[in-house]
Amino acid sequence: MATHRRHRFEVRRTRLLLTSRKLTVVYGVARRRSASVALANAPALEFEQGILGRLFGYGTLVAGTLEIRYVPEPRSFCRLIR
């Protein structure tokens, strides 16, 4: 049985769950929603940071069709996958 690493990050009312197989985002306050992308199916995991994002330590994480804004320290998050 394979062991899977799990990492959880919280961004306001948004939760990111990263396993060795997929990235899941759960968001919303009154209405909870979730979206997942299999890491094997995502062409690349990228992050975007503007000037303010670099100054304040946040950015946008893009994994295939899944785009998550205002992720704290997105560079560290990307390093976990690589």
pLDDT digits (tens, 9 = 90+) for 44-60: 888 899 999 999 999 99
CA distances from 27 to 15, 37, 40, 56 (A): 6, 15, 23, 22
Q: Which residues of the chain have pLDDT under 50?
A: 1
Instruction: State the Cα–Cα distance between residues 21 and 33, nearest whole angstrom.
Output: 20
pLDDT score recorded for residue 49: 93
